[in-house]
């Protein structure tokens, strides 16, 4: 469905991954809050230790957490941590919970502070501009499957690329 892909700021197909990161990273997209919530007496959610990479160039020193209440920010009561010198962190994630969010850090490819936030669906192991677009589509009401398909179409990315786990720096 190419009409869905056009909803991402009219970005056309045929952009390579380098162009994608330049366009999205420069714009500084921030996905809005949409996520799970829990109620008293609910069954415990499955939580796993998930290795995560934060990439727009690897980002060290970024605060990373799961926005469990869907308010669009990382709150003090939400599990969070900080990426290491390679932009990696292992975080306790509820795969059915809210999006993974980042704040701050240093882009190791430029040496500059990161002033925007990135996000990713809870099923991701990479938080990047690509995952941020996918998370924004899901937050606006698209299913995860349709959001991934729309990003594939908008940026002419093949079905063989796992967008939720893509390390574009390593793949380049």
Mean pLDDT of the 100-113 span: 96
Mean pLDDT of the 126-150 span: 95
- pLDDT for res 46: 74
Our CA angle for 167, 64, 5, nearest 5°, is: 50
- pLDDT tens-place string over residues 44-87: 567 889 999 999 999 999 999 999 999 999 999 998 999 999 99
Task: Decide if 55 contacts 168 (C-beta within 8 A).
Answer: yes
- pLDDT for res 121: 96
More confident residue, 63 or 10: 63
- Closest listed residue to residue 172, CA positions, set 13, 27, 21, 7: 21
């Amino acid at each position: 469905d190419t009409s869905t892909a056009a909803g991402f700021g009219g970005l056309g197909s045929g952009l390579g991954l380098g162009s994608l990161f330049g366009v999205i990273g420069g714009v500084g997209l921030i996905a809005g809050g949409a996520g799970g919530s829990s109620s008293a007496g609910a069954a415990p959610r499955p939580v796993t230790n998930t290795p995560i990479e934060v990439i727009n160039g690897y980002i060290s020193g970024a605060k990373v957490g799961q926005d469990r209440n869907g308010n669009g920010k990382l709150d003090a009561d939400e599990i969070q941590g900080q990426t290491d010198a390679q932009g990696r962190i292992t975080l306790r994630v509820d795969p059915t919970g809210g999006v993974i969010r980042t704040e701050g850090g240093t882009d190791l490819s430029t040496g500059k502070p990161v002033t925007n936030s990135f996000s990713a669906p809870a099923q991701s192991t990479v938080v990047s501009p690509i995952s941020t677009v996918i998370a924004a589509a899901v937050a606006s009401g698209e299913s995860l499957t349709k959001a991934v398909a729309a990003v594939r179409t908008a940026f002419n990315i093949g079905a063989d690329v796992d967008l939720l786990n893509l390390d574009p720096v390593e793949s380049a």
